[in-house]
Every structure is written in structure tokens, then in C-alpha cells.
Chain A
Amino acid sequence: MSAPVALVATADALALAGLPGGDPFDWAWCGEPAAAAAHVRAAELVVTLGPVAVSGESDEGWVRWLAGRVPDRVASVPADVAEGPSQRLPQRVIAQAGAGLWRRAPWPVADALFELAPPSASGRVVVLGRDAESRAGVARLEAYGIEATAAEWLTLAALETAAAVLELATPGDPAPAWLMAPLAARRVLLRVGAAPDFGLQAGVDHFAARSFDEAATLASALAADPRAFDLVRAFGALTAERHRASKVLSGLLTDVRLERAALEPGAGRPAAPRWRPPV
């Protein structure tokens, strides 16, 4: 049986935002572009993460879920149910910022991240930001006696070993696409210079530091007593739960079906897979 949903992305992106195969997720196929052709042809909803393409396949009607701010020329006209039936299935663009988006959201969070084992080292911090800033951040954290690594983009491997993720935001830039991943994995999220977004509540599910030193003080406190952050970690996971990939993808399938029904009055409305809590 072909899956009604196909999620196409690189392996790194799928590790943070995808679904495992098999029951109870057999309604969604997740894989890399090279293996996707047959699945996207059979799927009712195709979602791509990042700028991937499937060779030989048109992206008409697909949901393109991009990272960052989308330039106006890239964000296509959204499904305009207000203006009547259209002959063309619109491309739907989701991103964290940009004009003309279909939806504005961070990437979904892989269901598996909610079950990620705690880090072995209690205080390791992965610093994410532009290259020079994150490297400088690592040096400053090490001066505080905190073990740290730098990265420009979050990966599962980095998340596995980290107790905290420190985001060095650039003023004016939107929240990163991976925003919810550390929270799902019960890692403490420290944001410097970032505005709350997408339902995050500073001080409840993450920390918004006004300076690097403030973030470093919190990282030191985390290394000294990780359990003092239990409440924040628990609320972080609760916030990330809204972005669980299985919930988000089944919700998108419902959305697309509802829009198609509105655009094409004769179209039926098969029920989308209803999200079931993980056992």
C-alpha cells in the first residue's frame, strides 16, 4: 500500500524532523530525494524540508518547508481559497519568515527525538550561530570552564552529546528551523539576542539571555546542578510536543484535503490519519 504522505529531505534533516518507518507511521514515507520518485508520485501530500528536488518530478502542489527567511520571489502565492477555484494546484511554502507564506512555522520535530537518551556529559554545550560567532562563543564558554563545541547547523550527533544548545541569534534573522528539536530532546535551550516566537515562553521552556555572559552563567549552573533545570526541560518538551512530526504531518494532510475540497467542490474528503499518542 502506498503511503499518502511523502516527506523528502536529506538524512541530516530527517534525523531532526522525520518519522521512523513502519507501524504506527506507515501512512508516511520518509526518505532522501534519490529514493523518493515512486513515493512522491503515489503520495497525496509531498513535503520537502529544505531546498531538495526529486529528479524528474514536478513540485506542483507540494509543501516546500524551507529554513530561514524566504525571499518574496520564492514564496509563491498560497492556496487562495478566497478567490475561487484554480486550475493549478498551488505550491505551498512554509518557512520561519517571509511574505506570501502558506504557513509560518519551524520544522517539525522527529518523534524519535522525544525519546533521545540523556547526554553522557552533564554540562556540554553546543553553540550555534554564524561560524565566527559560534567559535568565539566556544572559546568564551571554555574560559568559564564549560565544555563546548561550535556548529552552524544543529545535527542529531551534536544533540546526542549536548546538555544544552546555545543559539547566538543574529539581529533581524528569524528563529532557526531546528528550534524545537533541543526542547523535544530535553536539552536546555539558551537563546542570546533572540525574540520569543512560535509559542515559546522565555524562562518557562527555554532561557532568553540578554548577553553572552548571562547565558554562560546559566550554562555553568546547568553543569553544576542539571536537575535544577528539570522544570524547564519538562516544559520545553511540552512546547515541542505541538511540533511532533507525526502530528504536524497528519495535520498538513488534513489541511491540504480541506483546501482541495474547497477548491474542487466535487472532491471527497477522506479522513486523514488521526494522530495517536506514542505507546
Chain B
Amino acid sequence: MRVCFLVPGLSPSGGTATVLGHVRRLREARHFEPELVVTRPGAEQDAPGDLPVRTLAQAAREPYDVAVATWWQTAAALYEVPATRRCLFMQSAEHRFYADHELFERQGAAAVLGLPIDFITVAPWMSDLLSELRPEARCHVVPNGIDKAVFAPRERTAHQGPLRVLVEGQPSLWFKGVEDAVRAVRRMRLPHELTVACLDPHEAAGVDADRIVGALDQEGMAALYAETDVLVKLARVEGLGLGPLEALHMGVPCVVTPYTGHEEYLVHGENGLITGFDDVEGTAQRLDLLARDPDLRARLSAGALATAARWPDGGDATQAMVRALSAVATDVPPDESGLALLHRTAALSSTLGRVRLNAADGALTRIDELEQALRECQYAYGALSARLDEIQASKGYRALATGRRLVARVRP
């Protein structure tokens, strides 16, 4: 089966790593010929040496059995490569990555949920959501596998001293909640050491951590988890949240906000603690509880390893991907009634856009009024200045001014 995975580029990210992992393992599966197709011009230059990477133009030459979009901006390319079936590999509901003012990106990302294609999701919550919105849509869940050779339990000796806290996430991405996490850790009353691990440490300037580490490969992250007592992840948007999953595999309990996907692995009081959004004090208290109670840490650590034992590895995940792609390739073509959602998304976008434009129009009208008022003030100021000059140049004014000066001299 010829399958192309459409990716915008190959810069390092959790989402890209998941796709590359599937492509690598699918190459070892019988009857599968997976390829990466980059949709952004020039992105093929970042190709990893061990994988076939094509441009869109190159991909147009030979038909695929299945084309897989992996990010909303690659969805249009589904219709630019010759493919018998099309699907979207959903690692999140991507419109949530954008802030309220990024209206166009947000609506573009939401629109892919209405495409008449099949869906492969990394967590059940996305399938449930699609089932609610589009009962006819076919969804296959392929959970992210963890490399259990790398993220393997290591002997954890009882650690004396400050609680070693790791915050994982890129601080420059608002939805990763790194700032919230750092603030909560720093609000702890008991001693602690805070490490922040991110993709690009250059973008972590100003983060109040004892140590900032960046661009670690999987082995590097595993070594970091091995010297960590607790992982804190206060993300606001996640598809699944791989960092905590990796940490659980190393026996590290996690304190997380209830982002979408956490419910797949985090059980409050069994392998970690779930804390509320925007609750700095409450989160700090939970961390103090962990700092104070080594028995609790040990129990949560055992719970973490039990969770990890049940979690699929990369091979399991790719087997699930094989089943999903096979179903996509052989099922009848998807129902097109999802297009209604697409049109409704567009309709709502137009309403929201109109609201923004009305607000902008109102602001522009006010600016025009203020500019007009400013011009009138400037005109009045100019007229008054000219009149003042005339008065000051008049004989009467000059005589009066001279008289005042004389009076001032003769006064004691």
C-alpha cells in the first residue's frame, strides 16, 4: 500500500516526531510503502537521511492508495496528490492553538473537521468529539506509542534534599502553560530545584528556573526524567501530552492540569495529581504535599510504572496505524455530509469576521472624528497665534509693555 504523509516541514516538534516514527516503522511493515511529502517549498532540505521525502510536485507523479494530512495547513494538499483515499491524522484540535485575535488561522484549522475524509486520532476524546459533530465520520484511534527501550524504569534511590521539579514545554507557546507552572513551583513553601526543559532554550530567556535545558533528544530527556522527582505540566491545550507519558514510564509522578488527553493516563492520586487551571496556590500546595511526603511520591511512582506497563509501545502504535490505514483504504468512500459542518464553520467565521470588522469600523470612525477635531483645534490655535502676533506687534501693546517695564524699574 502506497501511503504519503503530508507534513508542512520537518523542523523538530513532538507532532513531527510522531509522524516520523510511524513512517519509519511502517517501512518495516509488510505491504506498506510510506513516504513523507513536504508541502512547504524548500522544506525537503531538512529531510532525515533514512526516510524518503518528496515535494508536492514529485508526489504528483505516482498515485497513492492513501494520502494522510498531518496538520491543518496540509489538508489542501490532500487534493493535490493523486490518491484513492484521503484522511487526516489528528494530533489535536488545532484551532485551539490560536488566540482569539488569530481568527482566520483558527477558522482555517477548524474547517478541516468538516472535510469529507476519514480521521485517525491519537486520543479517544477527538473521536468522541467528531462523533458528536459528525455521526457519520469514520474515526480510528491510534495512540502514540512510547519507546520503551529509551523510557525504561531505572532504579530510583531515595533522594534527600529539595524536591526536584521538572517543567516541560516551550515557554514561547502560550498554550503550554510554562509560565503558570513556573509561578506555581516558585510559590512552594518547601525547598525545590526547578528545571525547565524546552525545544529552544533561546526562547526561554526570563524564565525563573534554576536550570533551563533544551533541544534534548529522547535519551537526553530520559536522563533528565531519571533525576526528577515530579513533572509539572500545566498545559492549556494538548492532544495527548507526551511529556507526562514519558515521565510515567520512568516512574516520575506528574502534576497536570486537566488538558484534553490527560484522562488517557493520569489518575488523580494513583500516578500523579490533577490540579485546576489558574490555581497557582492550589498547585503549590499539591507540590508541597509531594515535597513533604516521600511515601506518597513512592506510591505515585509505583502507580506511574503500572500505567506505563499498560501503555502501547511504538510497535503497538504502528500496528494500530496499519489497521487504521487498511480500513481507510478499503472502506467505501466517506460520506460527504460533513461538508455541512464545513459550511457552518464558514458561516460562523463570516459572522465573527463581521463583528470584528464592525468593531474595527467603529474604531476607524472614531479615529476620523478625533483627527477632524485635532485639525479644528490646530486651525483655531493657528488663528489665535496669528491674532496674538498682531496684538504684540501693535503700537498700543508695545507702549503698554514699555510702560510696565519702567514702572517695574522705579518700584523699590
Does B289 touch A at the CB level, under 8 Å?
yes
Does B113 touch A at the CB level, under 8 Å?
yes
A78-B285, A82-B288 as given contacts; A197 in contact with B347, CB under 8 Å? no
Does A234 touch B at the CB level, under 8 Å?
yes
Question: A228 touching B347 by the CB < 8 A rule?
Answer: yes
Does B257 touch A at the CB level, under 8 Å?
yes
Instruction: Give the number of chain A interface residues (Cβ < 8 Å).
Output: 50
Does A198 touch B at the CB level, under 8 Å?
yes
**Complexed CA–CA distance, A79 and B288 (Å):** 11
State which residues 90-122 of A face B: CB under 8 Å: 101-105
**Which residue on chain A has the smallest CB distance to residue B96?**
A204
Interface positions of A (Cβ within 8 A of B): 78-83, 101-105, 197-199, 201-204, 208-211, 213-214, 217-218, 221, 225, 227-232, 234-235, 238, 242, 251, 254-255, 257-259, 261-262, 269, 271-272, 274
**Which residue on chain B has the smallest CB distance to residue A252?**
B268
Does B209 touch A at the CB level, under 8 Å?
no
**Which residue on chain A has the smallest CB distance to residue B189?**
A82
Of B42-50, B60-68, B197-205, B272-280, the segment with at least 4 beta carbons within 8 Å of chain A is: B272-280
A78-B285, A83-B189, A199-B257 as given contacts; A231 in contact with B279, CB under 8 Å? no
State which residues 228-271 of B face A: CB under 8 Å: 236-237, 257-258, 260, 267-269
Question: A225 touching B268 by the CB < 8 A rule?
Answer: no
**Complexed CA–CA distance, A202 and B282 (Å):** 24
Of B10-18, B321-329, B348-356, B371-379, the segment with at least 4 beta carbons within 8 Å of chain A is: B348-356
**Complexed CA–CA distance, A278 and B125 (Å):** 15
Question: B129 touching A81 by the CB < 8 A rule?
Answer: no
The interface residues of chain B lying within 8 Å CB-to-CB of A261 are: 293, 295-296
**Binary contact track B110-131/A, C-beta < 8 Å → 1, others 0:** 1001000000000001000100
Instruction: Give the number of chain B interface residues (Cβ < 8 Å).
Output: 52
Question: A210 touching B281 by the CB < 8 A rule?
Answer: no
Question: A102 touching B359 by the CB < 8 A rule?
Answer: no
With beta carbons under 8 angstroms apart, the residue of A101, A201, A230, A238 that contacts B282 is A101
Does B95 touch A at the CB level, under 8 Å?
yes
A201-B236, A262-B292, A272-B269 as given contacts; A227 in contact with B344, CB under 8 Å? yes
With beta carbons under 8 angstroms apart, the residue of A102, A199, A208, A259 that contacts B277 is A199
Does B106 touch A at the CB level, under 8 Å?
yes
Question: A234 touching B289 by the CB < 8 A rule?
Answer: no
20 contacting pairs across A/B (C-beta < 8 A) = A80-B189, A81-B285, A81-B288, A102-B282, A104-B282, A105-B282, A201-B237, A202-B100, A211-B359, A217-B358, A218-B351, A225-B347, A228-B345, A230-B341, A230-B344, A231-B345, A235-B93, A238-B260, A251-B274, A271-B269
Does B103 touch A at the CB level, under 8 Å?
yes
The interface residues of chain B lying within 8 Å CB-to-CB of A229 are: 348
A231-B110, A254-B269 as given contacts; A105 in contact with B344, CB under 8 Å? no
The interface residues of chain A lying within 8 Å CB-to-CB of B280 are: 104
**Complexed CA–CA distance, A257 and B355 (Å):** 50
The interface residues of chain A lying within 8 Å CB-to-CB of B188 are: 82
The interface residues of chain B lying within 8 Å CB-to-CB of A218 are: 351-352, 355
Question: A254 touching B279 by the CB < 8 A rule?
Answer: no
Question: B106 touching A203 by the CB < 8 A rule?
Answer: yes
**Complexed CA–CA distance, A204 and B109 (Å):** 12
The interface residues of chain A lying within 8 Å CB-to-CB of B354 are: 217
The interface residues of chain A lying within 8 Å CB-to-CB of B277 are: 197-199
**Which residue on chain B has the smallest CB distance to residue A203?**
B100
Does B133 touch A at the CB level, under 8 Å?
yes
The interface residues of chain A lying within 8 Å CB-to-CB of B281 are: 78, 101, 103-104
**Which residue on chain B has the smallest CB distance to residue A211?**
B359
The interface residues of chain A lying within 8 Å CB-to-CB of B292 are: 81-82, 262
Question: B351 touching A217 by the CB < 8 A rule?
Answer: yes
**Complexed CA–CA distance, A199 and B267 (Å):** 19
- Nearest CB in chain B: distance from A92 CB, A: 10
Max chain B C-beta neighbours (<10 A), residue from A228, A230, A231:
A231
The interface residues of chain A lying within 8 Å CB-to-CB of B340 are: 227
- Nearest CB in chain A: distance from B297 CB, A: 11
Question: A82 touching B344 by the CB < 8 A rule?
Answer: no
Does B132 touch A at the CB level, under 8 Å?
yes
**Complexed CA–CA distance, A257 and B282 (Å):** 16
A230-B133, A254-B268 as given contacts; A204 in contact with B95, CB under 8 Å? yes
